[in-house]
Amino acid sequence: MTPLIDGLQYANWSEKIFRQMRAGGVDAVHVTITYHETFRETVLNIEAWNRWFERFPDLIFQGRSASDVALARETGRTAIFFGAQNPSCIEDDIGLVQVLHTLGLRFMQLTYNNQSLLATGCYESHDSGLTRMGREVVAEMNRVGLVVDMSHSAERSTLEAIAHSTRPIAITHANPFDWHPARRNKSDRVLKELAESGGILGFSLYPHHLKGGSSCSLEDFCQMVARTAEKIGIGALAIGTDLCQDQPDSVVDWMRSGRWTKAVDYGEGSAAAPGFPPMPAWFQDNRDFGAIAKGLGAVGFSAPEVAAIMGGNWLDFFARSFPPAGSAA
Amino acid sequence: MTPLIDGLQYANWSEKIFRQMRAGGVDAVHVTITYHETFRETVLNIEAWNRWFERFPDLIFQGRSASDVALARETGRTAIFFGAQNPSCIEDDIGLVQVLHTLGLRFMQLTYNNQSLLATGCYESHDSGLTRMGREVVAEMNRVGLVVDMSHSAERSTLEAIAHSTRPIAITHANPFDWHPARRNKSDRVLKELAESGGILGFSLYPHHLKGGSSCSLEDFCQMVARTAEKIGIGALAIGTDLCQDQPDSVVDWMRSGRWTKAVDYGEGSAAAPGFPPMPAWFQDNRDFGAIAKGLGAVGFSAPEVAAIMGGNWLDFFARSFPPAGSAA
């Protein structure tokens, strides 16, 4: 049976949420463990996860390889795969790529909205592409099996990452720009080059990425998926809900403003609506994936196609991406 | 065939030394990666090791489990197991025990000569035993599979560690006090309680631990091993050479004085002889283990007994000690 995998969540973790993952039959989730945190702060976040794993061994465990998805299915648990939304966690030290991979990091964004040491984020006015260090770090990520994620990166940087990376990259949570022209959504060119290189796109349910925002209909969303499949094929398509369940608005402030500004950056929000937007009525938490699968079927996807989008494609991508370069899975 | 395992080295690592390990048929070595370094500094040391592993994959690789010793033998390489000589690397954060275990740490001393947050070192005038945090950290080390090493600890602290630890502990590099009354050598009571609890002693070849220092004869050393076997049995006996090959004397100054004093602490040395002492003529580097094995045979150990002391006992201890509590090997 094909697993159910979500390509991005950053919740205010609790037993309640882990139980909802089980109720929803979610076999694996890529969770964000760090944004602007330093290496040491990121390790504190890993320590917090270690305590979750110790407290709830019957609900969750740390995923490290694609085979852990099957283990999750067999043991009725959810495999949690770590990711970073910004490279702050490696500081200016390429050696931390391998160290964090050993600690279980499996995805790392090269940028989060702003210019980083590695590449340019989607909110900068000028995109200078991969930096000198960026090219070195991508090669090191390729070597150890840490996936390059360009969800929050700018166009040229994303295209250069696709071209420079010797392994397929991910855009774990975003939608097509031509459906909803948000800065975080991706151009047809990016989506095509992503798919042609073996990469993967997780469709986002974060309202700022949706046409119509929180009131976007399930049917609209699923028709957008169908149109994307026509453009770039089904093999590159997956889900990355960007579910930020139960988070206080102080968290979205940290995500957007970190320590890089003394002012407030509203990111995709605004002074009038600075907080987390409400999720669509049809996707409130981990128990609602069945609705998406049903919606995909309703717009014409076959059962095997739905299964691929709901997890099979992520599983295949995990298997290709997480082993060190040149090793067997 | 029984493997050859050294229970402690801290060399100025180089291709030359790795090749000498191969020439000497050394299957596994517990290497010190940190003394007084903070967590972040310890991670820098791990990064340096990662670069050694990447540069010399045909000579060495990182050992994590007892089965890696067999892998080393099969592939003609030396498995390198990480250890810490002081708990500075966990700072005041018990969560770092698991994090460092995940990064491959397999031994950690609770103290290095001085009082630590966990226990008392052998150079303090008062030994107050395990601290509150010490008891918690020992339990956590037991849980994750990180060996408690009391080589540089004081008597009461060592006895309390043996008693409190639910898994056998190690004294990776020391000798019996009744043979050579150095502060770093261990009383009969410690050695007996160590052995009765399933622990292990690595006999040290560091001259300050030897009767007669650098001029200690191989026969004297081997006769001491034989007398220790009579006292506590053969199952607890192994080798931990404390080889500090090619190190400049600035390193022994760091080992002794760290950042805890502005003066110079000479430790086992003296103002007249502040540096590393010369190793015995019969043990200069990793190619000389054969001489020890021969010397042990000459004082009456049978071939299987020699094999146990030269590596079999370490292998058994690794298998019992490195898996997380309650898991299979």
Closest-CA distance, B72 to chain A, in angstroms, reads 18
Torsion of CA A319, A321, A325, A329, to 10 degrees: -10
Residue B46 to residue A99, Cβ atoms within 8 A: yes
Token output for B68: 């890696």
CA distance B6 to A5: 45
Q: Are A28 and A74 in contact (CB under 8 A)?
A: no
Task: Find the length of chain B.
Answer: 329
Task: For residue A236, give the nearest of A174, A180, A278, A298 by alpha carbon.
Answer: A174
Encoded amino acid at A243, one letter = L
Contact map slice: A 103-122 vs B, CB within 8 A: 103-104
> Does B33 reach chain A within 8 Å, measured CB to CB?
no
Predicted ipTM > 0.90 = yes
> Does A43 reach chain B within 8 Å, measured CB to CB?
yes
Q: Which CATH fold would you assign to the domain B5-321?
A: TIM Barrel (3.20.20)
- B121's CB contacts (< 8 A; 6+ apart) are B111, B112, B113, B114, B115, B152, B153, B154, B157
Site from B34, B50, B53 to mutate, A interface, most A CB atoms within 10 angstroms: B50
> Does B282 reach chain A within 8 Å, measured CB to CB?
no
**Cβ neighbour number for residue B152 with a 10 Å cutoff:** 28
**CB pairs < 8 Å spanning A and B:** 42
Residue A102 to residue B98, Cβ atoms within 8 A: no
Closest-CA distance, B47 to chain A, in angstroms, reads 5
* Residues of B in Cβ contact (< 8 Å) with A42: none
**Cβ neighbour number for residue A1 with a 10 Å cutoff:** 9
* Residues of B in Cβ contact (< 8 Å) with A50: 95, 98-99
B136: exposed, middle or buried (Cβ count in 10 Å: 0-12, 13-18, 19+): middle
Kindly give the confidence (pLDDT) of every residue in chain B, 329 residues in length, as a single tens digit, with 9 standing for 90 and above: 899 999 999 999 999 999 999 999 999 999 999 999 999 999 999 999 999 999 999 999 999 999 999 999 999 999 999 999 999 999 999 999 999 999 999 999 999 999 999 999 999 999 999 999 999 999 999 999 999 999 999 999 999 999 999 999 999 999 999 999 999 999 999 999 999 999 999 999 999 999 999 999 999 999 999 999 999 999 999 999 999 999 999 999 999 999 999 999 998 899 999 999 999 999 999 999 999 999 999 999 999 999 999 999 999 999 999 999 987 54
pLDDT digits (tens, 9 = 90+) for A31-46: 999 999 999 999 999 9
Would you kindly state where each structural domain of chain A is located, as residue ranges?
5-321
